[in-house]
Amino acid sequence: MIRPVTLFSPLIGRKIVLYDTVTSTNQVMKDFAGKGEEEGLVVIAEMQTDGRGRRDRLWHSPRGKGLYVSVLLRPPLPLDQFGKISMMTALALVKTITKITRLPAAIKWPNDIFVQNKKMAGILIENSMTTTSLNSVIVGIGLNVNLLPKDMPEDLRAATTSIAIVLGRTVDKDEVLHTLLKEMNRLYYKLIRRQDAAWLIGAWQGACAHMNQEVRVSQNKYSFEGIFRGVDGSGAALLELPTSATIAIQYGDCTLRMP
């Protein structure tokens, strides 16, 4: 740990703990969450040795180049509604990237963030719960800020981008963080305060990269092809099948490809 910092922030980021090197910020946050830390805690690291995506996929996290952030939340939502946190975080990233780069950013279902058709940010949310009640929601965010192609593994270069790559110059990482936390605070408050999900669905769909396009969603051994018609309030994908039936896809080893 470098130092804990206290900021004047309404909730998310009112306490921030900075690290130099961690295995992953989510892992560190799990320990904090287990010790009963309050909602809003933010963990940031300069470098992750074991940054992860889902099911152990590596998130490349070179020193000082990216934003590696975890946020602790304890939202008063039903256990099957945490997709809203994923939607909200994706939206906060889209807003942040757009503000900093002046370029449109888009969400690929469920929550990858793309700029100029290349991945710029990823989200991994890890919840801890019993079958009846929530302990914690840990929102892990990896945002490529000042990574250049030379900082990326060769096999990722074609499909990955960063703020520095699209702008042609490096940016102040703290400014990016500040913008991100501000957006997350704003959206989280709205999410908790508002009963309806229409605004969230509308905003998410407005930022989606593939609305009303033909897509394929893979689930384990099966895949569905159809027209992506958006999401429902829980974040499930609404796919219109060739039979004209629309199904909600909520789970799975979901990859989404343009056929």
Partner 1 sequence: MRAKEIRELVKIVEESIIGELEITYWWGRKIRISKTATGGSSAKHSGIEIVTTSTPKAEGHISAPAAPVVDAGDKSGRSDNLLEIKAPMVGTFYRAPSPDADPYIREGENISPGKVLCIIEAMKLMNEIEAEVNGKIVKIVADNGQPVEYNQTLFLVEATK
Candidates 130-138, 160-168, 176-184, 190-198; binding stretch for partner 1 (CB under 8 A): 130-138
In terms of phi and psi (left: phi > 0; alpha: psi -120 to 50; beta: otherwise), the region of 64 is left
6 binds partner 1 (CB under 8 A): no
C-beta of 59 vs 165, nearer to partner 1: 59
Q: Which of 6, 8, 36, 131 binds partner 1 (CB under 8 A)?
A: 131
Q: Rounded to 5 degrees, what are φ and ψ at 239?
A: -115, 125
**Pair 124, 85: CB distance under 8 Å:** no
Q: How far apart are CA 191 and CA 161, in angstroms?
A: 30
Q: What is the DSSP letter of 38?
A: P
Contacts to partner 1 from residues 24-63, by CB under 8 A: 54-56
Strands (E), the chain: 3-6, 15-22, 41-48, 66-73, 105-108, 112-115, 118-129, 134-144, 214-219, 222-231, 237-240, 246-249, 256-257
79 binds partner 1 (CB under 8 A): yes
Minimum Å distance from CB 120 to partner 1? 16
251 binds partner 1 (CB under 8 A): yes
Buried b (16+ CB within 10 A) or exposed e, 47-75: bbeebbeeeeeebbbbeebbbbbbbbbeb
Contacts to partner 1 from residues 134-193, by CB under 8 A: 135
C-beta of 66 vs 83, nearer to partner 1: 83
Contacts to partner 1 from residues 207-246, by CB under 8 A: 219-222, 224, 235-236, 243-245
Helical pair 83-101 and 173-193, crossing angle rounded to 10 deg: 140
Q: Which of 32, 59, 68, 82 binds partner 1 (CB under 8 A)?
A: 82
Minimum Å distance from CB 219 to partner 1? 6
* Residues within the interface to partner 1 (CB under 8 A): 54-56, 79-80, 82-83, 85-86, 110-111, 123-132, 135, 219-222, 224, 235-236, 243-245, 247-254
